[in-house]
Structure 1
Amino acid sequence: MSKWKRLQENSLLLLPSVVLTLALGIYPLLWVLRYMFYDYAGYGNELFIGLDNFRRLMKDTQFWDSVGNTFVFAGGKLLLTIPLSLILAVILNGRLRGRGWLRAIYFMPTVISTAVISVVFYIIFNSYNGMVNQLLLKYHVINAPIDWMGQEHAMLTVILVAVWGAVGNYMLLFLAGLQSIPNDLYESASIDGANATQKFWSITIPMLGPVMQMIVMLAIIASLKGYESIMVMTEGGPIGRTEVMYLYLYKLLFPVSTGSAVDQQIGYGSAVGFATAVIVGIITALYYYLSKKMNKVF
């Protein structure tokens, strides 16, 4: 087969992917980059305003509050999700009876719709007749119902729900990493008299280094971009306490679906979207740089 014929066949195979990337990736990106400099509400005339959207963004306290909430949400989710996922993976990688069923059960939340999960947990954490308050009252852990969606506990509640939905996914990735570690290393350590704890810290953790680096990066990106469960459970409330960056962006672009009283703001929303993407990109790049530095040190 000639090179020209092979090039034609390869081009035809790649064509659907290229078209979809251009239509669903490149074109929307260019569209957003254009409207960052316009005052546009989704209908009517487009008014070029230059950098006014970015000047407004710098003074927008609601946006910067959402950035702070995002870091709190992402940090809490990461601190709970990564250790829990690793512990579950280690347990389910052992010779445990019914471990196949347990793996499926823990992975199940990953394939369930986030909206469905959020509605279920909204009912479970309901202040008046929710299952959590009922159990705590029954066993006299609390004397009065806790307002889980209130100002003091709302962020903790949405973090716990996010952790429940994410643990199974990262557990599976950790399992793949654990199963790639040669058993010879553990057998040699046993001959040398190492106990289970010593094997974990001296063999398992170092050998999981590359996998853990990838998992943490994926978890950081997902945590910074997560907003679906918050939108269903609290809508960013109370008083903006749980409003994260992408939820604030969603309210600007689709105010009707969130019940927001704010008019649709395509132009300003495009500027906010660009800023959120830059923030996520900086955090991800910083983690990647630091992880590479740590690899060279250790």
Structure 2
Amino acid sequence: MDKRNSLGKRIKQNRVAYIMLLPTIVGFIAFVLYPQLWVLRLAFYKYNGYTPPVFVGMDNFVRLFTRDTVWWKAVGNTFYFSTAKLLVEIPLALILAVILNNNLKGRNLFRTVYFLPNVTSTAVMSLVFYFIFSPYQGILNGILQSIGIISEPIDWLGQGSLAMIVCMIVSIWQNFGLNMILFLAGLQSIPDEIYESADIDGATPVQQFIHLTIPMLGRMLQIILMLAIIGSLKTFDLFKVLTNGGPGHDTEVMMTYIFRYFFVDNMSTTAQPQLGYASSMGLVATIIIGAVTAVYLWMSRKLEENY
């Protein structure tokens, strides 16, 4: 009798759990799994959204790998942007986390201020920075001219190298606060006794940071870097609002280029959508991001074994 009651209780609990999970499962199937399968199928078709799709086999991938030089420029820009900005963003977040982990006056205020950009809409934030860096009516040029640093306005978003640097600055400003909070969570999980023992042994703060803090943050650092890499490789709205991939595709990234073929705009090389070709690019981009993530996880696992 007790076994029956226990079994019935477990079934009831499981039923409640499945009911609670049902909205998430339905949402995943409807908005993630089905679109991915649709894109996977469409990658082998020529389709403009109006006429019936025509099966072309591997033609879209042949075109992508052999004839579309802009796509590979977009891939290179994506990796350049992600690598360069993370080399600044991650160390900055870690250093600020270490500073704010101490008993500083007003540290909670600084934590809040640094984290606020992360909760701001990327599109709205990019629009604000667009006006800041505008060449003729921008706030930055106005300030620099008023104090005599420059005599002529600088076209920050109209020159390829400068435009990419501006995008990096905006992205770092938006994302370092979240990484800082995650680092803070990892720092606060490190027992104080470890640092007290290091002080007794005569270790300097720099030695403690290198030989204690960083190794103890290994698992958290692995997660933070993985999320930052994936997020950087998938960046879209920042570039769409600030530069729209210009000038001359110098700030084109994978996601903005895919967008051009799904939704034709003024920089597209086609007069109508090419959903099949865009789907093939989306599939290749997914494989690239997945491969980078897998390689990173393998490398970081090897590094973690050293600690």
Structure 2 counterpart of 1:32: 39
Hey, what's the Cα distance between the residues in 2 that align with 1:141 and 1:115?
30
Letter in 1 for 2:31: L
Shift of 1:251: 1.4
Structure 1 residues 187, 27: CA separation in 2 closer, same or farther (over 3 Å shift)? Answer: same
Structure 1 counterpart of 2:91, from 78, 83, 92: 83
Hey, what's the Cα distance between the residues in 1 that align with 2:198 and 2:241?
50
Structure 2 counterpart of 1:267: 276
Hey, what's the Cα distance between the residues in 1 that align with 2:291 and 2:59?
23
Hey, what's the Cα distance between the residues in 2 that align with 1:255 and 1:17?
33
Hey, what's the Cα distance between the residues in 1 that align with 2:203 and 2:15?
59
Structure 2 counterpart of 1:251, from 247, 255, 260: 260
Q: Is the 8 A contact 2:44 2:60 kept in 1?
A: yes
Structure 1 counterpart of 2:73, from 65, 71, 80: 65
Q: Is the 8 A contact 2:219 2:304 kept in 1?
A: no
Letter in 2 for 1:281: G
Structure 2 counterpart of 1:158: 167
Q: Which runs of structure 2 are paired with 1:144-223 in the superposition (5 Å)?
A: 144-151=152-159, 152-223=161-232
Identity %: 48
Aligned residues: 297
Structure 2 counterpart of 1:291: 300
Shift of 1:33: 1.0
Letter in 2 for 1:191: I
Alignment pair present for 1:21 and 2:28: yes
Shift of 1:280: 0.6
Shift of 1:261: 6.0
So what's the TM-score if we normalise by structure 2? Answer: 0.92
Hey, what's the Cα distance between the residues in 1 that align with 2:242 and 2:12?
56
Show structure 1 runs of 5+ residues with no match. none
- Secondary structure of 2:279's aligned partner: helix
So what's the TM-score if we normalise by structure 1? Answer: 0.95
Shift of 1:19: 1.4
Shift of 1:175: 0.6
CA deviations 1:159-188 (Å, max 9, x no partner) are: 111111111110110010011111111111
Letter in 2 for 1:92: L
Higher alpha-carbon deviation: 197-206 or 161-170: 197-206
Structure 1 residues 61, 50: CA separation in 2 closer, same or farther (over 3 Å shift)? Answer: same
Letter in 1 for 2:30: A
Structure 2 counterpart of 1:234: 243
Shift of 1:4: 4.5
Cα root mean square deviation, aligned: 1.6
CA deviations 1:55-112 (Å, max 9, x no partner) are: 1111211111100110111111111110111111111111111111111110000000
CA deviations 1:196-251 (Å, max 9, x no partner) are: 21221121111111111110111100010012111101000000000000110111
Show structure 2 runs of 5+ residues with no match. none
Higher alpha-carbon deviation: 193-202 or 102-111: 193-202
Alignment pair present for 1:142 and 2:154: no
Alignment pair present for 1:11 and 2:18: yes
Structure 2 counterpart of 1:118, from 98, 122, 126: 126
Letter in 1 for 2:44: F
